[in-house]
Structure 1
């Protein structure tokens, strides 16, 4: 009996070692981020890569391929071999606003990708420089109606999600503000802090520090519900006569179309397990984002809804990339 027990133990250890070795033998997989390093998309991708590596025992790395409002990296994944080794950290901007603003792109955001799952929601918040007298969204709207184009708002560029979101807000509110586009989020925020522009929609993950330090004044969350990090800040819909107004940035993992179903299921299961890791969940929430998950059908519907909504905003605002 002792000998049999020893053999079973030895066999179990050998099988476990074989399983670990097999996992390590899998080729390195890549998560392509279609934006520069250091931004919210990049941070989420690196957290996901770390969690997936831990769960799968397979090396997952992040590869940044920025440019053309996310179109370069997104097209790279659409053209990649569907072998389960290339994924896209996609976002609402790269999968909806980018294709709408760049008719020359060759990828179809619905047909050319298979969703693994969403990872995080980065909700947006309306903030103003402390020099602005308005203390609520309605007061801001009232001032803008009385003083057309007196208020300047900054964004990370023409056609960015913040440009389109502010255009949607202005259209719904019936106001006119002057758009000041920048080459990236950092300079747009710096000029808001300096008071050279007065209004901005920012991701909560980016605005949180400046809100807590009093460098900007938050007016409202651009989401259907209040944000758990700022439960006392109302939604835009609550604080002004703009029912159902919201725009949020979602981020998730996608494979190129044609990737075997078994590989998609393997990665989806691993991502679900990774998202339960306490450190990963804490890092995402500490950034001001909210972990999330949706079915493939719901993700496809989300993308199609985004395309319809932002397509109308772009057409009505005559927004073109320069």
Structure 2
């Protein structure tokens, strides 16, 4: 595992050399760099690029995006952990990076809860549980009944053990006892092709990629992994409403963090600036159109939220049997 991780690390370093950061805004002062540990174009990358503009205005600094993908986000995060803690280098992290990566990759060389400090939650991205319209399944109850029948063997998409589709699919299997096996895909695009063709029984996918297909009638939404219904899919209930949400409700949030050792005054300034940037109307409307929820996590409640919600994710991860690779 160590040899594999270091191979990913070398590849990530090469990719970062070849990558060209994207300038969010020209303004006086030092440049703030946000490392996104995923490839460009994904939901987390999109939200980070949207927050860059209002954040640059609040800080009166340039803000650039630096994509450093690989190793389920560990390459980019480790880069920031090792960087000088000057308050100018941030990393985009997710709930699964915070809670599940340390379980899967104990040799990654850092611990998010110890080596990174959150400075803002920039959004939460619910997943939609979808089936093919030709499946004749109209509810989570019917899906569970089909997966619980003698000899049943359903399948669902996964993009890797740290991905939200894998996590939520495994959690549904754990909570209901259905017989279902994950099918590995490189990403949402490949999985959606098979969902649209009816080759998958169900999958959880982000609102940003599923909502168009659901509204067009090409996929059927059974539930969303959110505490409230989405205005983009008002007729789709929350998983908890269906009675199959289980005892825990993990929220797939995205955060900006800095390295441990960052000066407290700089850290507090970032927290205030990010919180204000989240109130920007253009930012709010652009991410809402992709199904992203803005969580009202103030600078004063940020540490408590991350600590408690990470514990929820860890509890759920252990329940579904996630172990080191």
With the shorter chain as reference, the TM-score category is 0.7 to 0.9
Residue-by-residue CA offset, 1:31-64 (whole Å, 9 max, x unaligned): 0111111001101111111111122220000101
SS, match of residue 246 in structure 1: coil
Query: Is the Cα contact below 8 Å between 2:55 and 2:274 reproduced in 1?
Result: yes
Find the partner of 2:295 among 292, 295, 299.
292
Say yes or no: does 1:85 pair with 2:92.
no
Match of 2:316 in 1: 309
Does structure 2 conserve the Cα–Cα contact (< 8 Å) formed by 1:87 and 1:256?
yes
Asked whether 1:272 is paired with 2:267, we answer no
Shift in Å at residue 242 of structure 1?
A: 4.3
Q: Bigger shift: 172-181 or 237-246?
A: 237-246
Aligned pairs (5 A) from 1:133-282: 133-146=136-149, 148-244=151-247, 246-282=249-285
Partner of 2:15: none
Judged with a 3 Å threshold, the aligned counterparts in structure 2 of structure 1 residues 70 and 148 are, in CA distance, closer, same or farther, namely: farther
2:69 to 63, 66, 73: 66
- SS of residue paired to 2:276: helix
Structure 1 vs Structure 2 CA RMSD: 1.9
Question: Is 2:248–2:312's contact at 8 Å kept on the other side of the alignment?
Answer: no
State the SS of the aligned residue for 2:189. Answer: helix
CA offsets 1:216-273 (integer angstroms, 9 cap, x no match)? 1000112232223222211222223544453431011111111111111111121122
Unaligned runs of 5+ in 1: 1-22
Q: Secondary structure at the residue paired with 2:222?
A: strand
Answer with 272-281 or 145-154: which moved more.
145-154
Deviates more, 1:177-186 or 1:28-37: 177-186
What CA distance in whole angstroms lies between the structure 2 residues aligned with 1:157 and 1:57?
38
Query: How many residues of Structure 1 are paired with residues of Structure 2 in the alignment?
Result: 296
Give 1:157 shift. 2.5
Distance 1:242 1:283, change over 3 A: closer
Structure 2 residue 48 is the aligned partner of structure 1 residue 45: yes
**8 Å contact kept, 1:92–1:250:** yes
Structure 2's unaligned 5+ residue stretches are 1-25
Decide whether the 8 Å contact of 1:93 with 1:249 is kept in 2: yes
State the Cα distance separating 1:25 from its structure 2 match: 4.5
Flag the structure with larger Rg. 1
Does the 8 A contact of 2:147 with 2:178 survive in 1? yes
Between the aligned partners of 1:208 and 1:302, the Cα distance in structure 2 is: 26
For 2:49 and 2:221, locate their aligned partners in 1 and report how far apart those are by CA, in whole Å.
29
Correspondences of 1:94-109 after superposition (within 5 Å): 94-109=97-112
Q: Determine the C-alpha separation between the residues in 2 that align with 1:226 and 1:24.
A: 39
Check conservation: 1:162, 1:202, Cα contact below 8 A. Answer: yes
SS at match of 1:131: helix
| Aligned-partner SS, 1:90 | strand
